[in-house]
Structure 1
Amino acid sequence: MKKLANLLIGSAISLCILMPTATQAQLLLVTYTDSVTKQTASWNQELSPTPISSGAGQFTDVPITHFTASPSLGLSPYTDIIWFSNIPAITGGIAGGFATPYFNLNESSTATPLEQQYTGLESAPTFVPGTYGVIDFNNQDPGTLVIALVPPGAPGPIPGTGAAALAALALAGLYARARRA
C-alpha cells in the first residue's frame, strides 16, 4: 500500500509540473453613470470575449457577469450586453455605446471622430479601456462610461485549480492511510 501511495504522489507531482498552467482571461470592470438621474450600472466582461451573437459592422452581444444597477428596480441581473458599432450609416443612426433593457439605448457622444468601445470585428471584439462620454438615446441625458482592466491577481477562480486541490487532498489522505498500515 505504501508503494502505491508513493507512486500516486510521485505521479501527481509530475503531472502538476508537466501540466500547463491555466490562464485566466483578462477581465474588465465596466461602469455607467447617468449624469442627470444618477442611475448607475456595472458589470464584468472579458477584454476579448466570445460573442453570443454579432452583426458585421452593427453590433456584438457579449456575455457578462456581476451586473448591478442602482436603483435596481427589481430587475433580474443581465447576462449579456449588446455593444454597437460607431458607423451610424450602417446601424441606423446608432453610434457606438451599448444597450440593456434597464438603460434602454446609449450612444457615444457626438465627438468627432465618434468613439467606439471595441476594436476588431464584431465577431471577435477587443474592448478598449478608457472613459467615454455617452448620451442616452431615449432622453438625451449625458453620462459617463468607464471601461477598466481588473488588476491581475484580483479574486476570481482559475479553471482547474479546485480539481487539482481536491486531487492533492485525496492523495495526502491515501498517503496518511498507507503510513498507518
Structure 2
Amino acid sequence: MKFAIAVLVLFLAACTSTPKKETTYTPPATHEEPVSSTPKIDYYALQAYLNMDRPPEELGITEKAFNTCDAGFGYSRSQNCRQEYFVLLNFRLLCRDTEGTISTVLTDSDVTPLAGRNVKWNLKGIEGTTQTDGLGYGQIRITSPISQKKQRVRIAVGDQFLYMRANEITKVITPLPWCSQY
C-alpha cells in the first residue's frame, strides 16, 4: 500500500509540476514617420514682423530680405542662419464668357470673379495651394533663398493653367473654360 501511495504522489506531483508554455503578447512593430527637417513657418506672423501687411486688393508682388535667425516664427534663432526673401504675391482671377482673341475692351460687366476657387501654384520649385475670396482675390506667401520677381509662376484652377512672370501678374482675365471648372 505504501508503494501505491508513493506512486500516486509521484504521479500527482509530476502532473502539477509540468511546465506550462506561457504566451506573452508582443505588440506589432510601430512605423514612425521620419521627423521632417523642414521648419513649420508661421507666414502670417513673419509677414507682420516684416511690416508687409497688404490687403489682397493691392495687386502684384512684393518681397523683403530677412535673416532667418533674427526672424524666428519657425526658423531657429541659432542654427543655419541665412538670408531669405519673404514673398507676397497678390492676384485677382476673373473669367470672361468668350474664348479666343477679342478686339473690344472688357468692362466689369463682361467678367466674373473666380470666387472661392482652389488655386494650385508653383513658383520656381516652391508649390502650394490657396483659395480665392468672394471677389476672385488670392494671395501666395512663401519664403525663398532667391528673389522671385523675375521667376515664372504657374497658376492652375482645375485642368486650366497659365504661366506668367511673377512681377507681371496682377489682374488676370481668363477665357470661358476657366469659368466652369469645379
TM-score interval, normalised by the smaller of the two chains: under 0.3
State which structure, 1 or 2, has the greater radius of gyration over its C-alpha atoms.
Answer: 2
Higher relative contact order (CA 8 A, sep 6+): 1
TM-score, normalised relative to structure 2: 0.23
